[in-house]
Structure formats: C-alpha cells, structure tokens
Structure 1
Amino acid sequence: MNTDSPLPVMSVLSELVTALKQQNVILSAPPGAGKSTLVPLHLLTQAEFSGKKILMLQPRRVAVRAIASYLAAKLGETVGQTVGYRIRGESKTSSNTRLEILTEGLLTRKLQQDPELADTAVVIFDEFHERNLHSDFALALCLESQGALREDLRLLVMSATLDELGLEQLLPDAIRLQSAGRSFAIEYHYKAVPTSQPWLPWMASLVLQALQEHRQGVLAFLPGAADIRKLAQLLTPHLDASIRLHCLYGELGKQAQMAAVEPLPAGCKKLVLATNIAETSLTIEDIAVVVDSGLEKIARFDLNQGVTHLVSQRISQASATQRAGRAGRVGPGVCYRLWPQEQQARLAAQSQPQILQSDVSALMLEALTWGTELAALPLLDKPSDAQLAQATTLLKQLGALDSDMRVTRHGRELAKLGSHPRLANMMLSASQQSTQALTLACMLAALLESKDPLKPSYTLDMVERIDWLLRHRQDPIMQLAGNWARRLGGRLASTLDSRAAGKLLALAFPDRIAKKRGAGRYLLARGIGVKLDELDPLCSHEYLLVADLMQTGDGGDIRAGLSAALSLAEIEATVGHLFTEELRCDWHQQAEQIRARKIRKLGSIEIRSEVMSHPSKAELEQIWAVLIRDKGLAWLPLTDSSIQLLRRIRLAARYLGQPAEQDWTDAALLDSLADWLLPYLGEVRSFRQLQGLDWHNLLRNRLDWNSQSLVDKELPSHLLVPSGSRCTLDYQEDGQVCLSVRMQEMYGMATTPAIANGRIAVLVELLSPARRPLQKTGDLAGFWQGSYKDVQKEMKGRYPKHFWPDNPATAQATTRTKKAM
C-alpha cells in the first residue's frame, strides 16, 4: 500500500485490526485523519479478511465515486478491479472487486437478498454522524444478521464526531478507538448579514473579498441548488479568467461533480459553490478558504400533508465544524461565517436524525419483509407513533399489508423493486398491463425522482414533460426510466399515450387525487387544499392528480407541483375500491322533515351525491341515526313523562348504583340508538311522527326487570301523602326532587319525606287551598314548629272555612273544609 505521508489514523491501525478479529469497532477520527482512505486499504492487506469482500458505506454518491477513484489510483488500478463502487443506476465492479464502496440503500437491498452477507467480512459505516435514514436502518439490519446468522461478520462504525450519538448503547460490546486528526490552523471571521440586506448578495461580496485576499481557492456552502445558481449568477460578471467556478450538489451530473473535486492546472484558482454534500469525506483540491452561509436544506416529512418538503434551517455546531475543516485539510486556512460569533454557541450540537423527520413507509415495508416490526429493530432513534401510523395507513392503502399487518405477496414485490412503495406500486401494476403502460410508469417515476426538465414552464402538466422526454431520449431521466423498466423485466416502448399519466399516477398517489373548487384551487382526497396558477391549462379539468406538493409558508393552500389531468371514469377504474359512502342529512326546519343524500367519497373529496327521495326502512333508520347524533339528545321530542323517567333512572344510578350510571348519559344513549330507538323509526319521515312515539316505554324498556322494580320502588313517580292523595313528584334537572301539595294534606306528617332508601330528602312546596305557593321547605318538622305560626295567622283570615290547627304535625290531614270534616 502506497501513502504520500503518514496519516494520524495509522497509529491505531494495528489495534483496529486486532479488535476487528474479535468484535465490532467504533472509530472516532477527526477530519484529515485518513479514516475513509487508509483504513479500508489497510484492511485489504489483512489475511483475516482475504477471500471475502469489505463493504464501505458512504451517504453521498459524489463521495462514493471520488473515494473509489482515489483508492483505486493508490493501488495503481482503475476503478472496478480491486476497488469498485455501486450507486443506484451505476456500478463499477468485477469478479476481482474486494473493496466495494456503496450507498446505504444498496446495502439494504443486498441484505434482503442475502441476510447472511455470505461474501462479506467487514461492513464499514463511514461518516455515520450524518445520521442518514438508510445508514441507521442498514446498521440495524447488520446487527440483526450478526446476532442471528453471522457471528463472524464485523461492523466498523467511523465518524469525525460520535461522542453524542449513543452508539455504545447500540453496540455495547464494541471496542472504542480514538484517532487524532490532521488539520491545520483555521482563522475564523464572523461576518453577520446586516439586517437591512438580503443574505445572498452579502455572501457574494464575501466570496469576492476572499478570492481577492487569498491565493488559494474558495469553497462556499449554501443551502440548496437554487441558491447556488443564484450566487453563481451574481458572481460570474466579477470573476477573472484565472478563476474556475464549479457547482457541487446532488442533482448535478457525474462529470460536473467530479470536476469540482479534481485539481486544477497551474495558475488557476478554484471557486466551488456547494451544498452540505461537500461537508465530509471529500477532499476538494486547491481549497484553503471556506465561506459558510450557516444554512442547509433538509428533507422534512409533513405528516398532515403526507409529503416531504425541503426546508431551510440553521446548521448544527457539528456541521459548522465539518465545513470549516474543509479549509484546513492541506494547510492553514480561513473560514468566513455569515452569523454573529455569539450565535455559534447557540447552534444545536448535532443535526436531528433523519429517521425522526422522514416518511418511514419504505423502511416499515423493508422491516416487515425482513421479518420484524420497524420499532423492534435496534435503531439509535425510533420513529414516532404518528410516523408509524401514517406509514401503516399508506401501505395498507397500496395493498402491501393486510389487516393483520402481514406483508402481502404484492407487498413483497414492491419491496424488491427498491423504490418508494408509492412509485413501486405504480410501476409494478403497469408492468402487468402493457409495455406502453410500463414505459409511461417508469418515465413518471424517473421524473418524480429528478429535477423538472421544463422548469420554468407555463404548465405543471406531466404530459408535457413525458412528451418532451420522448423527443429527448438521451436525457438522464430516460436512462433512469430504462433502469426501472429493466428491473421489471421489460423495456421502454417507442410510442405511448402520455394522456394516461394521471390514471397511472393514481396508483401511486390515491390520496392526492384532487377535485376542483374554483379559481385554480383544488381539494385533495387527503383533506388539504392546493392551488395552481389560474392560467395553467390544467385548471380546466374537474379532477387532477397532484403528484408533487410545495409549501408556500403563508399558512394557506399549498402550491401544486407536477400534476396530471384525470377523468372520473379513470378514478373509478383505478381506485374505486377506496371509495366510501356517507349518509348526509339536513333538517328542513320549515317542513319539519329530513332531507337525505347518499355521498360517495374518496377521502375528503365528494365524488357523487344522490338525493334519497324514497329511502328504505334500513336507510331511514340510518338517516335518523346520523341526524339525531348530529343534533343531540335534547333535540328529540321527549314527553314530560319520559323526561321524568330519565331523571329518576339517573338518580337511581347515582344513589343506588343500579343501573350503571355510564349507560344513561346523553353520550351513551346516542351511542346505543340502534338498541332502543332506531328499530321504531323505519316508517318515520317527519317530526310529527317522531313526536307520536311512546318515549316513556322506549326508555323504560332499556331497563331490566330488577332495575325497573328498583326505580319504581325507591324513586317513584308519585308519593302517597297523609290525606291519602297520590301526589306527583317533580324530578328536576339539577337532581332536586320536589313535591307540590296543599298544606292541609300534609297534616300529621312530622318529618320531611325521603326517597331512594332515605338518601334524597324531598323538597316540599306547601300550597294554599287555592293551590298558591305558601312555603318551600326541606325541613318539615322545623317548619311546623317555626314559621307555620305566621302562615296560620294569615291563612285563617284569608281561608276561614279551612282547618288551620295549632299542632299540624299531629293533626288529621284533610282535603275538605271544616264544615265537611
């Protein structure tokens, strides 16, 4: 093995090899230590690992290519011999390849096909601190494979910053090694953006200043490709011929990416505008100055909208350190930061793991295909319950899971394809139709995974893009589409009907079928609004399939991205099995009648509405159920007798424990309409007919015989008073029970009457002979001995013919005058 100069990681190589013979290793090595280059080459020379492959995972495709090229050159070979690489859609390996550098998603595919990794001795997870979604998942699968199938498989987790990741808990038996780094002194300049100035022009001025003040090249970090292109436009007029401007971001072609990394001819100065793709693993030649915007764009999954958006945010302290380190790889460097120095300490220590802010439906399907639930895997961070619920709903909707959370045969086919389950469902279904359908589906999938080739355009119509690609078959998007077609055992057709795009896309995005609301606004089946430019020809269609969504940040409808027209017939033919029926009732107050419609829906959008002019008995019962639950129990025309019974029953439940109190709440009665009320509403069409029901017995029949007897005995409707009269008890809403009776009929009753086995004292309202209220009392004995004297005096003068004894507690009760007694 040939090296130019000693690298710090060399000091731990012997210890590393010894450790890997026995167990897993966690290697922490700062930037410049040589971990990504020297470690894999050294492992190739060890007899213990001969005869099997070493796999090294990298989170970024440009790093995969660059490292493979560098390592192959160190061995005096071309890529594809001893050292090879694989990324999606591109592979340079051979039967002689022993060190294979690949992205994490491809390792997942390899594990699903060969859980033992029979041809592999060591799996290296490089730059693990980036917490890529697939690196977390691939490590979990490797740990499962190691524990159950391959005790001799060794895992090496490497990163510049591992202290706060909690890897020791995930790999408790792993040996922890620490290497020094090799970086030169970095001079920091904090150049916060003035509040009155946009940040991009300010950054342009700093880049030009850095180019003027320093002999070496400049690397500028920006959040996204659009910002890179804007900054390039601002800078280009001010750059002299010696400065070579390069862009570096994920969507860029392979040649342009590699040109940004490679050294320049003598006399030239390099300027690279990059996203966080250049933070780690890559050593960009001729760079000694970094200008850092402090911003990054991350993919964040919105559970409510069901779509992943790119959002800008502040970088973490770990990312800021990594970016600055690019300036000190080959000599002393300089770093300009576009934020105040005091803000540096307030940055988050680490970036949030991608698994906590992503759509995990693909991982869930992978895990279930593997044979376990996603949350049961040994992951550093577990997805939230909301993420798991959303993923479950989608996978069931796509037919990948059955009702018992088992992977269906269709689901296993989706998992094999290696794309998002949505797109896999579209392509797999299309492959069973025709070559033309498969071609269109693969082109649509490739379009959605790539940059819009016609942006900007007068329309968002997918059909326009498909027709353009058919005229430009050499475009990389068509190459990606061809890869998908080959994986499905097909080929790209020479002609097709692009107008079927919407129908195919509905197989991938049934929740994004949209119905027109007017003025360029549509409602998605998932319940959110989207808007298009009113001048877009797509707005002439009643239904659309909105394949892409873009946040506006204004809190209103989100903007539609690439979309396709869709007919109602196509919707019914494609996703008719997802339709539901809903009964919607309106109460016509003037006519006092119900008006019902049967609504056919796809999610939140109304597909069809039918007026029910002559509903059947079963339909009437359902209509009343919907209406009564909507309006509440108080809306029912309960009679006074039934209201009194209901109050008596509730008091019995409260004071005597029978019947169960929870069975007689308003909510319980509404929930149990089918048991006590709906069977009697099959012929009822108006409120008048509803009023004619025997409400008292409908409620009473809900009680069993024992409860009926208890209520009749302990909470009676009437009370026998001393005069022999059966007087009505009034059960009031607040739980008070009142007895209104003429005073003469209560003579002889010395104490207040009580019910409910003595637990409820009756409030006695004593009336005059003319049934006018005289006194309310809950203490009858106290009344007879006290204020009765004043009442007696007044009543004797007003009603001299009636009996007003001096001691009413012992007097004879009567309903007659003194003469008739």
Structure 2
Amino acid sequence: MSPAVPSFPITPLLPEIRASLEATPRLVLEAPPGAGKTTQVPLALLDAPWLDGRKIVMLEPRRIAARAAAQFMARQLGEEVGQTVGYRIRFESRVGATTRVEVVTEGILTRLIQDDPELTGIGAILFDEFHERHLAGDLGAALALDVQATLRPELRLVVMSATLDGERIARWLDAPRITSPGRSFPVRIEHPSARAQESIEHQLARVAKQALAESDGDVLVFLPGRREIARAQAVLEETLSLRERVAEGRERVRAERVVQTSPNPHPRSLSQREREEKIEIVPLHGELSLAEQQHALAPAEPGTRRIVLATNVAESSVTLPGIRAVIDAGLAREPRFDPNSGFTRLETVAISQASADQRAGRAGRVAEGTAYRLWPQSKRLEAARTAEIAQVELSGLALELAAWGSNALPWLDAPPPGALAQGRELLMNLGALDADGRITALGRRMLALGATPRLGAAALRASEPLRPLIADLLALMEARSPLRGEQGRSDDFRMRVAALHAWRDRRGHGADGGALAAIEQASKGWRRRLDVRSAASGTPDSHAVGDLLLHAFPDRIARRDEANPLRYTLANGRGARLHDNTALLGEPWLVALDLRFEARDSLILAAAPFDPRVLERDYPQRFVRERVLRWNEARDAVEAFEERRYAAIVLERRSVPVQPEDALPALLAAIRSKGLDALPWSEHARRLRLRIRALRGWMPELGLPDVSDAQLLATLDDWLAPYLAGKRRLDALDAEELSQALSALLDHAQRQALDAQAPDALTVPSGQTRRLEYAPDAPPVLAVKLQELFGLADTPRVGAGRVPVTLHLLSPAGRPIQVTQDLKGFWERTYPEVKKELKGRYPRHPWPDDPWSATPTHRAKPRGS
C-alpha cells in the first residue's frame, strides 16, 4: 500500500496544470522553494491522456537534487528508485524497464536529444530550476523547442522555477503562466556588522552562535564553495564550545525577551533537554559521497540541532527539514571565461538579489525565521543572475551545434558571436571540426564520451596502455586540486597524480583524503566509459602526464626562453612565467594547464613537462619553415629571416637578405602600426591635405578624395606603395616623394579646382600675397595688416563664394586688432574707434578718415611726410 501523499502548496494547482497542458503543449510554472513543483508535477501528469504511456523526463541541474527528487517521488509511490521513478546522472543510472519518470542532469538531456531527435518514447520534458540559467539547460531547452517545432508538435514542455522572469519566459515560449503561492512564514532580515580585522569565518561563527540562541531550529549557512565550507567548519569546531555557549545564549535571550514583555519578569531556566542539546555541523556540496549527501538531507536525530554549511545547491534544488535561520555570506562560485587566457575558471562573485531573497526564504519554510546577511545593508545587488551562455567558454556548445547541424535555434539568450567563433576555432585545432566547420568523426566520438572538447580530444588520442592514466587526468582536471599545505602551492600538475596514486596504493599522500575519494569516483566513471578495466598506480614516466595533456591544450604549449629560465613563450605568441618557487624550474617544454592572465606575462598556475618529440609526431602540420619579414623598430628597417616554428614559438631562426619585393608589405605594415606621423610630412604636404579636406567638405560635387588618417591608412597600397617600391627603410622615403604621392590622388580638373577654390594664399589690395591657414571643420584664416585692406569693402570668399574667410586684422606691429568675417561692418562701426586708439601709437602709418578710398599699403609713410 502506498504511503499517504502529503499536501503541498502546489497541490490545488495540479488540475489547472493538467488542463493547461491538455490545451497547449508549453507551460511556464512559477513556484517558490517548498511549493512541491519538483516532486508533485511529474507524478500528477503520469496518467494524462496526451502522455499515452510515454516517459516524462525532468531536467534537474544538480546531481544532489536529481537523486533527492527521484527518491522522494519513489517513496510517495511506495517503491524503490528505478521502478516508476528513476534518475540518470553522470556516471550513475537508476532506471529500469518500467521507469516512467526519469530525472536527469543537464548533460544527459542533451545526449538524449542529440542521439534521438524524435525523442521516441518521451512525451514531456520538464525543466526544473530554470532560473539558474546553466549553459546546458539553455541548450537543452533550445533543442527541445526545435524538436517540438519540426518533429514532435505534441511534445509537452514545461519550464519551472522558483525565481525567474516569468513574463519574459512566457513570451519566449509563447506559453501560458501558472503561479503557485508557495508556503512561507515571515522572515526577519538582519545585517550583523563584521568586527575590525574579523575574518568571514570568525564572523560566521559569531553569528551562528547568535542564530542558535535566538531560534529553535537548525541553521543553514550559505558559502561559495567546498574550500570555504571546510574553513568555516574548522573555525566553528575550534571556537565554539557549542553545547555550553548555546545554552548560555538561549538563557540570556529568553531572559531579555521576558524583561521586554513582562512587568514582573521571572525568566524560567532552560530545561535539562535544552542544556543537553547536541549541535552537529554538516557540510553539503556536490563533492560529497552519496552517503554524506543523504545524511545532510535527512532530518537530524532527536535532541540534535544542525548547522548546515552549504553551497548554492541548497538555494532551491533540495529540501532541508527544520531550518529556522539562514546565514548568508552573499557569495557564489560561478564560471567565468577569460578570453585573454582562453580558460574558464570558477570565480567567487556576489550573488543576485533574487538569490538572496530565495536563500532568505529557506528560514521561513516551517515557521517564522531569521536571515542574517553578512554584507552591509547599503550594498546593492544585481537583480538577477547572468546566464552562463554569456560568460563561459563555448567550445562545447559549438560542438553540440555542429552535431545538431544548425545554429538557428530558438534561444532565450543567443550565444555571443565572438565567444562562439573562438570555440569553433579551438575545435578545428583539436580536429573536432573540419575547415568548413562540419563535425568530424573525432568530434562525434568526443561528444559520445561526454568530456569537455579539450579533455575529450586528449582521452581519445591516448594509446591503450595509457588509458588508465588518462582516466585519472580527466578526473583531476575537472576537480580542484586535492593538494594541501605546502604541496597545494605547487605548479607541477604531476604532484596531483602522485597524490591520487599514493592514496589508491594506500601509501602516504599528504593530500585531502575526501577530495581524493571524490576524484577516484570520477576516475572510475571515466574508466568505464573508456573501457579500462584496471586503475593506474605507481609513478608515471616523467613526461607521461604532459604527453597526454598536450592533446587537450595544443595552443598552450610553452617553450622556455634561453635568456630567462622562468619565462616561456606560448604557442599563441604571448609570454608566460613561472613563480619564483616553482617546482618546474629547468623544464624546456611545458603544457600550461591553468594560467592567470596578466598584462605582460601570464602566470602559470599548473603545468606539466612533455617530450617535444610527441608534439612533432602528433602535430607535424603545425611545424612550419618559412621566410618571414619583421620590422626593426630601432633601425626603422625591414629584416628578413628564415624560421622554423611551432605555431608562434620560434625553434630556429637565421638572417637572410631582404628582397626588394619583400620589403614593401613590411614597410606598409609598419606605417599602419605607427600611424601616418611616421611619414616625412613637409609643411607643403600638410597644408595640401588640409586644403583637400576643406574643399571636399565645401564642394562635395567635385568628388575630391578622402584624405583623413583612417582612409589614407586603409588605402596605403593604392597611393603610397608605388613611391615605396624598392625601398628597405622607411626613412628612404623623402618629403618630396610624399607630397607627390598625395598630389597624385587628384586628377587635373580637381587640382585646378583646388587652386581656384581653396588657394594656398590670397593677393590682398596692397599687392602682397598672404597665406591662408586651413584647419579641419573651420573657415580658412587670413592674417593681414589693416592698412593692406584699404579700399576693400567685402570679405574675401573661397569655395566658389560659399565660405567667407576669417580675417585676423593686425596692427602695424603685427598684433591682432579684430577677428571678423564682416569687413564692411568693421570699416563702418569699428575702424573709427581703432583709428582713435592706434593713430597716436603708430603715427608713421596711414590712418585715413575714409578707408574706402585710401590707398592700401604694407609700408609706413616716408620720414618727414
């Protein structure tokens, strides 16, 4: 007989959910944690007529949550996992012939769709916790929508989440929305301040003591990762004598409450049960063993209270009974792609406001609770989490799209084109895509293996004897380093392999035993997939690790500089360096497995040496011998070399003569790099450019050429190359040749128009020729002594009369008197005042009463006149 089914907040909505899916094949379901959507919706749909006996597949982003959901549903049915309800996660499967509800993690769903696009035997796919926006979840949803649109219109798709932009998701799916109110109690938010010089672990321990004293249930602590959980656990165990201090705290808090609420307080003492209360500290993260995870999710024993130290796996994916207080560090570990280094690494980042609200809600599931936030109340968080597709490396996605045969998927957020192109380039280097971007046989085998493209390429190239070792390397590369203490600072990746093998062989290893146990479990999974029957042991050959992993990172090959043993040149041309206390000093060749990008040389965080003969054997096409030209900055000249290279790493180089035809491209490249100021511009050439630019703007109908910096640089091959032919040095081009090259841009008619409409100089009434000064986007300027313009009524114009010249009228001493474009107005209104002021100062120069009829002159009056 099946046990009684408990009631959940989602229960009253189940008929509406069934009716909606009967009418339309897509649905958005919003329900907070604890509403029951994960475990109740799949079971409620099992007998839907449209399902017709087919399976329901539910995507659960996290392995812990997938197991827990399947186990809970199986218990509701009075069955074991693997009967009606089962699950499939990486390296683990509990399904059978009668399984109707299959809970899977993200990579499993993608493989289901890729292997059988018609999804035979599957009637519905449910996407749980979609707000987490993992890349694989977004891909799975896009693929499922594509299948529904082209092959299976009757397929039902349900997107479920605790916190998502339901309106936006509904528009994307063109689907109705159903919202469950959930079950929650008020949660008080507090922001306890950190003390001076107090670490986050000690602040957490202090607040945990407060939370235990102020509440009756368990305490859930959110931390970014396993490392922080271990540190917090150590501090809690070391600094809190929990039984005595919590009892004292509860006594004090109860007394304070009685004082506040009663005129005659008589606080009662704690009961013997409360004084003997046991406190258990329980970690919860994805690297625990199955037994440890199940222990963390199970209710505490009677008389025991718990402090659960969890990653964001406890945000919404799993149910923890008895939580009355939440302590939130406000941090999470999320993947971030660094395009400079080419690596995606987990970074500790601030959580979003949606995550903070969801975490706080965990304290109000069974009664009123409190959330203690370990950040200032004034701090503002981002509203929602950024989708992984926008911030991770996309080679895996590019390979999936190549296998699917189309990039035109109905994305909620499309992948960034630049990151996708970078991913495809890597796949071509790994041999997973051909030159046309089509998936190769190796690429399909990489997908089937289920590793990242880099690690898949390395695993599938490994020879039979080395497959046990490559299984270990796959597990180690995907895990954090198990090394601790002094060993933990080592940049030699082989030490991690040695620690794993020592642990496996039951020898001393000096590493984290729990981490090694988790790595061993992953290695077992890879050995099964690679059809390896025995595990590696002992100490591998000194180059074995690097020889295998160079196939994952052929673009991260590094060769030591001859002049500096700590510095290396990477295959992409960038520099890298080892830290001063490196364990890899003296190694001529390394494969860099982890780098931290820095402006000058990246820091090598993990690497392994390899035999360069393996590189030549497996990548002969990347070794080239060719003649190269380089620009010597010091000599401002072209140099020629014959080089042998692996990618950008120069293995051999010898100087060879520069041929005239070789120098021209290098000279042009140098000019593009340095800019036009590197050319020998004469004053005449500079003025010519300014005149052309001015007339081009005034009279566009003339079709004058664009002589801006950008256009001249873009067309160097057209206008300057003929004048550089045969030259080997930049200073061999003289100023006269440059002026000729610029003049040659104009035909005869344009040159005549330029001289007429944008002249270099004007002849003024005194008979003298005065230069016009041109500037971008301004009328030309004519600086001239006032006396030279007597008799001239109107301002001179250029550009076919369209542009008045700006006159800078000068005193006899050449000092500015007036700037004007209205000469007539100057004579009428301003000249009398100027004459009055300057006539006494310059008596030997004419100051006629009537400047209209006076004779213009550039000379002073003769003495005695």
- TM-score, with normalisation over the residues of structure 1? 0.78
Task: Return the alpha-carbon distance in structure 1 between the equivalents of residues 327 and 631 of structure 2.
Answer: 60
Alignment of 1:502 with 2:579, yes or no, is no
Task: Report Cα offsets for 1:663-722 as digits up to 9, x if no partner.
Answer: 434444443333344456454345775449855655555555665676689889999999
Moved more, 107-116 or 287-296: 287-296
CA root-mean-square deviation: 5.0
Task: Report Cα offsets for 1:163-185 as digits up to 9, x if no partner.
Answer: 556222122233x33334344x4
Listed as ranges, the matches of 1:41-190 within 5 Å are: 41-46=43-48, 48-162=50-164, 164=166, 166-174=168-176, 176-183=177-184, 185=185, 188=188, 190=190
Q: Which position in structure 1 is the counterpart of 2:249?
A: none
Alignment of 1:424 with 2:456, yes or no, is yes
Conservation of the 8 A alpha-carbon contact between 2:558 and 2:571: yes
Q: 1:103 to 1:709 in 2, by over 3 A?
A: same
SS of 2:193's equivalent in the other structure is coil
Listed as ranges, the matches of 1:532-547 within 5 Å are: 532-547=578-593
Task: Return the alpha-carbon distance in structure 2 between the equivalents of residues 284 and 597 of structure 1.
Answer: 70
Q: Which position in structure 2 is the counterpart of 1:377?
A: 409
Conservation of the 8 A alpha-carbon contact between 1:289 and 1:333: yes
Conservation of the 8 A alpha-carbon contact between 1:583 and 1:626: no
Task: Return the alpha-carbon distance in structure 2 between the equivalents of residues 753 and 5 of structure 1.
Answer: 96
Task: Return the alpha-carbon distance in structure 2 between the equivalents of residues 651 and 270 of structure 1.
Answer: 80
Task: Return the alpha-carbon distance in structure 2 between the equivalents of residues 442 and 675 of structure 1.
Answer: 58
Q: 1:441 to 1:729 in 2, by over 3 A?
A: farther
Task: Return the alpha-carbon distance in structure 2 between the equivalents of residues 630 and 5 of structure 1.
Answer: 72
AA in 1 matched with 2:170: E
Conservation of the 8 A alpha-carbon contact between 2:395 and 2:424: yes
Task: Return the alpha-carbon distance in structure 2 between the equivalents of residues 634 and 9 of structure 1.
Answer: 72
Task: Return the alpha-carbon distance in structure 2 between the equivalents of residues 232 and 669 of structure 1.
Answer: 66
Q: Which position in structure 2 is the counterpart of 1:278?
A: 314
Task: Return the alpha-carbon distance in structure 1 between the equivalents of residues 9 and 732 of structure 2.
Answer: 91
Q: 1:733 to 1:752 in 2, by over 3 A?
A: closer
Conservation of the 8 A alpha-carbon contact between 1:597 and 1:610: no
Q: Which position in structure 2 is the counterpart of 1:193?
A: 193
Alignment of 1:464 with 2:495, yes or no, is yes
5+ unaligned residues in a row in structure 1: which ranges?
741-748, 765-772, 799-821
Q: Which position in structure 2 is the counterpart of 1:684?
A: 727
Q: Which position in structure 2 is the counterpart of 1:236?
A: 237
Task: Return the alpha-carbon distance in structure 1 between the equivalents of residues 629 and 711 of structure 2.
Answer: 22
Task: Return the alpha-carbon distance in structure 2 between the equivalents of residues 191 and 791 of structure 1.
Answer: 83
Q: CA deviation at 1:563?
A: 1.5
AA in 1 matched with 2:204: M
Q: Which position in structure 2 is the counterpart of 1:225?
A: 226
Q: Which position in structure 1 is the counterpart of 2:661?
A: 618
Q: CA deviation at 1:560?
A: 3.7
Q: CA deviation at 1:4?
A: 4.8
Task: Return the alpha-carbon distance in structure 2 between the equivalents of residues 231 and 690 of structure 1.
Answer: 70
Q: CA deviation at 1:121?
A: 1.3
Q: 1:639 to 1:163 in 2, by over 3 A?
A: closer
Task: Return the alpha-carbon distance in structure 2 between the equivalents of residues 151 and 161 of structure 1.
Answer: 28
Conservation of the 8 A alpha-carbon contact between 1:586 and 1:627: no
Alignment of 1:295 with 2:339, yes or no, is no
Q: 1:341 to 1:299 in 2, by over 3 A?
A: closer
Q: Which position in structure 2 is the counterpart of 1:353?
A: 387
Moved more, 251-260 or 627-636: 627-636
Conservation of the 8 A alpha-carbon contact between 2:454 and 2:553: yes
Task: Return the alpha-carbon distance in structure 1 between the equivalents of residues 780 and 376 of structure 2.
Answer: 71
AA in 2 matched with 1:42: A
Of 348, 363, 373, the match for 2:397: 363
Q: Which position in structure 2 is the counterpart of 1:744?
A: none
AA in 1 matched with 2:192: A
Q: CA deviation at 1:192?
A: 0.9
Moved more, 518-527 or 143-152: 518-527
Alignment of 1:585 with 2:631, yes or no, is yes
Q: 1:450 to 1:657 in 2, by over 3 A?
A: same
Q: CA deviation at 1:631?
A: 4.5
Q: Which position in structure 2 is the counterpart of 1:206?
A: 207
Q: 1:558 to 1:280 in 2, by over 3 A?
A: farther
Task: Return the alpha-carbon distance in structure 2 between the equivalents of residues 618 and 53 of structure 1.
Answer: 70
Q: 1:479 to 1:147 in 2, by over 3 A?
A: same
Q: CA deviation at 1:358?
A: 2.7
Listed as ranges, the matches of 1:267-346 within 5 Å are: 267-285=303-321, 287-305=322-340, 306-329=342-365, 331-332=366-367, 334-339=369-374, 346=380
AA in 1 matched with 2:312: N
Task: Return the alpha-carbon distance in structure 2 between the equivalents of residues 480 and 439 of structure 1.
Answer: 12
Task: Report Cα offsets for 1:89-121 as digits up to 9, x if no partner.
Answer: 111112222111111221111111111211111
Task: Report Cα offsets for 1:641-678 as digits up to 9, x if no partner.
Answer: 87787677667655655874444344444433333444
Conservation of the 8 A alpha-carbon contact between 2:85 and 2:101: yes
Task: Report Cα offsets for 1:44-93 as digits up to 9, x if no partner.
Answer: 34565353111112111111112222222333332222221111111111
Q: CA deviation at 1:292?
A: 1.4
Q: 1:541 to 1:697 in 2, by over 3 A?
A: same
Conservation of the 8 A alpha-carbon contact between 1:303 and 1:387: no
Q: 1:179 to 1:454 in 2, by over 3 A?
A: same
5+ unaligned residues in a row in structure 2: which ranges?
244-276, 506-516, 785-791, 808-813, 815-820, 828-845
Q: Which position in structure 2 is the counterpart of 1:263?
A: 299
Listed as ranges, the matches of 1:696-775 within 5 Å are: 698-699=741-742, 701-703=744-746
Conservation of the 8 A alpha-carbon contact between 2:30 and 2:164: yes
Task: Return the alpha-carbon distance in structure 1 between the equivalents of residues 722 and 35 of structure 2.
Answer: 80
AA in 2 matched with 1:450: A
Q: 1:435 to 1:292 in 2, by over 3 A?
A: same
Q: CA deviation at 1:494?
A: 5.4
Q: CA deviation at 1:28?
A: 2.8
Listed as ranges, the matches of 1:18-33 within 5 Å are: 18-23=19-24, 24-33=26-35
Listed as ranges, the matches of 1:386-425 within 5 Å are: 386-401=418-433, 406-407=438-439, 410-425=442-457
Task: Return the alpha-carbon distance in structure 2 between the equivalents of residues 333 and 523 of structure 1.
Answer: 60
Q: 1:794 to 1:296 in 2, by over 3 A?
A: closer
Q: Which position in structure 2 is the counterpart of 1:3?
A: 4
Conservation of the 8 A alpha-carbon contact between 1:436 and 1:497: no
